Amino acid sequence: MVIVRNIKKAYGSGTGTVHALKGVSCEIQSGEKCAIIGASGSGKSTLLNSIGGLEKVDEGEIIIDETNINSLNKEELRRFRRDKLGFVFQFYNLLPNLCVRDNIKVGEKLSKSPMNYEGLLSTLGLKQFENMYPPELSGGQQQRVSIARALIKNSPILLCDEPTGALDSTTSKEILKLLEEINRKYGTTIIFVTHNNAITQMMDTTIIMKDGMIIDVIKNPNPVSAEELDNL
């Protein structure tokens, strides 16, 4: 479970100060699919990065599995991210000189109890590509590798920042179907920042942000499948 309590984050100083988060609070249940949406500059990526320990907030608490990550020192936070969190970004951040297998193995080496590599390849449909290099792959295939690298750590929480933003609608739906399967198969909590409101139809919870604040939280009792999504 992720509990966010009255977090604040500002950049700059004096008249140039930008208040990215203005006392944000929310809860995300274990095993949920949660979308964070809002216009550019609303604070959604700052909130995601704060939950992931990539941004240190100025005030407030972020509690993940009963650990207040803001109380951790640098080494403790590094270990916590390694053990609890996986990250998937819009741009895949793959190592171009490593093949698919070795890019995924980078994530495996970060874990004390990684997922089974062969099983993960099968789930993600990557077996036929494991000896290929990122420049030889399509955008969707590279994103699958990025997801595999995050998942092999066996992290219970997957943080996704616009993972379909650079993909066409067909490939986006394939990635969303994949994330849906991961959530169902492994019980992974997925927190998903997006600008595409259509994606909220498949989420259990949608957090709507504006000007550094949460203005609404919508619970969806009947999420549709990724296959049913329109207007991606």
In tens, the pLDDT along 35-64 reads: 999 998 999 999 999 999 999 999 999 999
In the predicted model, is pLDDT for residue 159 greater than 90? yes
Q: What is the pLDDT of residue 175?
A: 86
Mean pLDDT in residue range 182-208: 93
Kindly report whether the global pTM for this prediction surpasses the value 0.85.
yes
Which is more confidently placed, 163 or 206? 206
Mean pLDDT in residue range 182-194: 92
In the predicted model, is pLDDT for residue 166 greater than 80? no
Q: What is the pLDDT of residue 169?
A: 85
**Cα–Cα distance, 92 to 89 (Å, whole number):** 6
**Cα–Cα distance, 183 to 97 (Å, whole number):** 30
Q: Which domains does the chain have, with CATH numbers?
A: 31-58+74-228 (3.40.50.300)
**Which of 60-64, 74-78, 175-179, 200-204 is least confident?**
175-179
| Type of residue found at 133 | Y
Rounded to the nearest 10°, the torsion over CA 181, 182, 185, 191 is: -110
Q: How far is CA 21 from the centre of its chain?
A: 19
Q: What is the pLDDT of residue 220?
A: 94
Would you place residue 186 in the very low, low, confident or very high pLDDT band (cuts 50, 70, 90)? confident
Could you give the count of Cα atoms lying within 13 Å of 41 in the half-sphere of its Cβ? Answer: 3
